[in-house]
Structure 1
Amino acid sequence: MNNDLLKEATEFICTFYKEVNKTAQEQENRLYEITQQIQNHGFYEHTLEELEYGAKVAWRNSNRCIGRLFWNHLNVIDQRHLHTEEEIRDALFEHMEYATNSGRIRPTITIFPQATPNKKIRIWNHQLVRYAGYKTEQGVIGDPGSIAFTEICLNLGWEPKYGKFDVLPLVIQVNNHTPHLFEIPKHLILEVPIRHPQYEWFEDLQLKWYAVPMISDMCLEIGGITYTAAPFNGWYMGTEIGARNLADEFQYNLLPQIGSLMGLDIKSNITLWKDRALLELNTAVLHSFKEDGVSIVDHHTAAQQFKLFEEKEMENGRSVTGDWTWLIPPLAPAATHIFHNHYHNEIVKPNYFYQLKPYE
């Protein structure tokens, strides 16, 4: 008998039944069923209702996420009946189409079978859509953050294109089988060309970014059960693209080029050229997504939404945990209330957790 699993299952079921106002008898009956399953099989299976609640509450408990106001609007797709790489691929394609929704992005999670002693599914990609990074003699082409995974894809037979924004294939592994590589159909990938409302030369940079951040390498843990493949998405906060992906020195590092094109003195910090270039890059990202009708939120609005989330949680008698270093936006953090607050970085379950990369 796995007493640790039973303890976590009991804590989850008690919290769940209390929040959805189920009776004490219903709770007792369910805990008896779970105890029997753990005794007989070493694990138990969630009902669909438990799965949906657990996935949503895992978002509510995600300390690093500023967008938790919408936790209860997460669309949960149950794909626990799928087992082959091809079935999982098709389900991921369905997730992409449903979540993207022609730009009106829907927060979505697709959950594949739980990990058991003889079953484990992994999606090797960090996100379902991500750009390749190639290390060449002339320097890095594309996303430097993707170099290691790109090399894995090349070793699996993927053909490189050596562009700045090449979408990587999906890599899916079932158990200890050889991972399977699948190209993503172009019609499933919505991308936004980045342009600026005032600077016409911005279009000459030929920048773009994909519309939906679909995290695919974290595991979902609910009541002691682990789902190692459970890709999920919300929509972007603009600074994730404009102040991180395109701006970080260890990623696309575009600030020097943008600063020069703005006519700024990039040799002196006192000109605050990085701040000014960063602001215009973020302006361009927000402008482009909004003009194309693709869901996105600016960091000031996101902070206001998080404040509303905090108030709602307080009304429901729940304390808000958080990782301050992640909650503050990378642009004008002191202009948000989050900067001036303190949060306990306590891990509460259900939750999403990082897991070791399967190719390292």
Structure 2
Amino acid sequence: MPRPAVTGDVPPQLRLPPVTSTDDETTTFDLDGAESFLRMFHIAHPEAGPVGPRLAQVRDEVAATGTYRHTADELSYGARIALRDSGWCTSGVPWRRLKVRDLRGLRNAAAVAGECAEHLRLACHDGGIRPLVTVFAPDTPTAPGPCVWNEQLVRYAGYADGLGDRRYTAFTEAVRGMGWRPPAEPGRFDVLPLVVETAHEGAQLFTVPPEVVREVRLEHPDLPWFGDLGLRWHAVPVISNMRLCVGGVTYPAAPFNSWFVGSEIGTRSLADEHACGAAREVAEALGLDTTTERSLWRDRAAVELNRAVLHSFDLARVTITDHHSESRHRLSWLRSRQRPAGNRPAFRLDPAAARRARAGGPARFTPHPAETTRPQSPGRLAELLRRRAEG
């Protein structure tokens, strides 16, 4: 049965105004995106009533403030559609029932970091991964929103001698220059601090509380020695440096998660020599010839690493999917997804945000010369979590 249509043509007086200029500076607010999104929302949710009055309300709000505030239902719908259409929603994720945490009132770095830790705790859910989106304060004409530098909330340090995750060597050096200190004996899986930047505080460091970082130690179903390699990986992939764009409004900090695809860990993170580089030691333990690429030792090692990842996550009862299942899901998604459009809700990655996640800069905002950046104590976030749990 077709859905009810949105009430007829909207009278001209209720349509959103065109983009205008003020003091020779063009307004950056996407009015077309706002109107398209609101129409889309009201078609999907006829119980919200006719779109005309809402467009009139938004027209007045944009005229008065230069932006508008989404209702809770609009925000939830926009975030879910953005995740569905982005391609980041792994197979089996019930995107219509995704939990959207509306934290648009938070602009201070400590509060954002504390709720990022809470996101990790809630998402893990004793291994049965819960897909979540946490939305912080948006950019407005008067107050830009916060941003998280890290690519994911949990990433491992990379050191100049090749120890750890080499993808984040530059980021590790940057946060060390900002005040972070690695363990006395650096290891392969040292969790990097969160870097949260706000316009009024600059970039701030926060230790991720160990109690919210669920990790899975890797063992192999057929190779008893595999566990002695000491490999492990974190349970929840929370992408944290993409901005959420919904109806002309940009939320620069909107961490979201589904669950891992096994090959993302086994092949791209553990096996790759530009990441953790574990393929060689696995190949040597298997007795493979690593002096020539024609022995395909990298491929054989990657297969065993991927087997170990899937086996270990299943053993720990942590949700994960394999790359074959995911390939079928992606093909189905490509066939059925909406065609790209600039005004549809989306998660987007800016080039500058991608550089911050790997190189530890450039800063989104120019810090005040008097500002200093110091790592916050791990107890501070732990205390925030305890207070929330008690409340």
After TM superposition, is the score higher than 0.5?
A: yes
Question: Quick one: structure 1 residues 63 and 189, their matched pair in 2 at CA, closer, same or farther if it must change by over 3 Å?
Answer: closer
Q: How far does residue 208 in structure 1 lie from its aligned partner after superposition?
A: 0.5
| Counterparts of 2:202 and 2:293, CA distance in 1 | 50
User: Quick check: 11-20 or 207-216, which moved more?
Assistant: 11-20
The match for 1:175 among 154, 179, 199 is 199
Indicate conservation of the 8 Å contact 1:123/1:172, yes or no. yes
The match for 1:140 is 162
Tell whether the 8 Å contact from 1:195 to 1:284 is kept in structure 2 after alignment: yes
Instruction: Work out the CA distance in 2 between the residues paired with 1:107 and 1:190.
Output: 15
Q: 1:273 aligns with which of 257, 280, 297?
A: 297
1:79 has 2:74 as partner? no
Q: CA deviation at 1:257?
A: 1.6
Deviations 1:94-133 (A, max 9, x none): 1111111111110001000101132220112111111011
Which of 206, 218, 227 is the equivalent residue of 2:230?
A: 206
Separation (CA, whole Å) in 1 of partners of 2:18 and 2:177: 40
Q: Is the Cα–Cα contact under 8 Å of residues 164 and 188 in structure 2 kept in the other structure?
A: yes
Match of residue 38 from structure 2 = 13
Bigger Rg over Cα? 2
Once residues 198 and 91 of structure 2 are traced to their aligned partners in structure 1, the CA distance between those partners, rounded to angstroms, is 32
1:274 is displaced (CA, Å) by 2.0
Which residue in the other structure is 1:354 paired with? 349
Q: What code does the residue aligned with 1:12 have?
A: F
Give 1:249 shift.
2.0
Q: Is the Cα contact below 8 Å between 2:33 and 2:344 reproduced in 1?
A: no
1:226 lines up with 2:243 in the alignment? no
Q: How does 1:44-193 map to 2 (within 5 A)?
A: 44-63=68-87, 66-67=90-91, 70-117=94-141, 118-135=143-160, 139-161=161-183, 162-193=186-217
Q: Secondary structure at the match of 1:76?
A: strand
Q: Which residue of 2 aligns with 1:333?
A: none
Cα distance, 1:226 vs structure 2:
0.3
Q: Does 1:298 align with 2:322?
A: yes
Equivalence map 1:282-321=2 (5 Å): 282-306=306-330, 313=336, 319-320=337-338
Q: TM-score scaled by structure 2?
A: 0.79
- Structure 2 distance, partners of 1:43, 1:281, is 49
- Provide the rounded CA distance (Å) in 1 between the counterparts of 2:68 and 2:40: 17
Judging changes above 3 Å, is the alpha-carbon distance between structure 1 residues 310 and 22 closer, same or farther for their aligned structure 2 residues? farther
- Deviation for aligned residue 1:222: 0.4
Q: Output one character per residue of 1:4-43: Cα deviation in whole Å (capped at 9) or x when no partner.
A: 62211000111111122347x6210111111111111100
| Structure 1 residue 69: Cα displacement | 5.3
Corresponding position of 1:339: none
Tell me how far apart the structure 2 counterparts of residues 21 and 197 of structure 1 sit (CA, whole Å): 52
Please state whether the residue corresponding to 1:172 is helix, strand or coil.
Answer: strand
Partner of 1:336: none
Q: Structure 1 counterpart of 2:158, which letter? A: G
CA distance in 1, matches of 2:112, 2:148: 9
Q: 1:180 to 1:270 in 2, by over 3 A?
A: closer
Q: Deviations over 1:76-105 (max 9, x none)?
A: 000011222222222112111111111111
Q: Once the 2 structures are TM-superposed, how far is the Cα of residue 295 of structure 1 from its aligned partner?
A: 0.7
Mapping for residues 16-27 of structure 1, pairs under 5 Å: 16-22=41-47, 26-27=50-51
C-alpha RMSD of the superposition: 2.1
Partner Cα distance (1:229, 1:2) in 2: 28
Q: 2:239 aligned to 215, 232, 235, which one?
A: 215
**Cα pair 2:166 2:275 within 8 Å, conserved:** yes
2:202 is paired with a residue of what secondary structure? coil
Q: Shift of the alpha carbon at 1:241?
A: 0.2
SS at match of 2:197: strand
Distance 2:303 2:203 in 1: 41
Change (3 A) 1:186 1:36: same
Residue by residue over 1:296-351, the C-alpha shift from the partner in whole angstroms, topping out at 9 and shown as x without a partner, is 0111222344456567x4xxxxx455xxxxxxxxxxxxxxxxxxxxxxx7767211
CA offset digits 1:41-95 (Å, max 9, x no partner): 1001100000000000001111465548532232100001122222222211211
Identity %: 38
**Consecutive unaligned residues in structure 2, runs of 5 or more:** 1-16, 20-28, 363-391
Which stretch shows the higher mean deviation, 28-37 or 261-270? 261-270
Distance verdict in 2 for CA 1:346–1:241, change over 3 Å: farther
Question: What is the alpha-carbon distance in structure 2 between the residues aligned to residue 120 and residue 320 of structure 1?
Answer: 29
Q: What is the CA–CA distance in structure 2 between the aligned matches of 1:255 and 1:127, rounded to whole Å? A: 23
AA in 2 matched with 1:38:
V
Q: Quote how far apart the aligned CAs of 1:267 are.
A: 2.5
- Equivalent position SS for 2:36: helix
Task: Please tell me the residue identity of whatever aligns with 2:175.
Answer: C
Q: Contact conserved, 1:69 with 1:305, CA < 8 A, in 2?
A: no
CA distance in 2, matches of 1:90, 1:349: 30
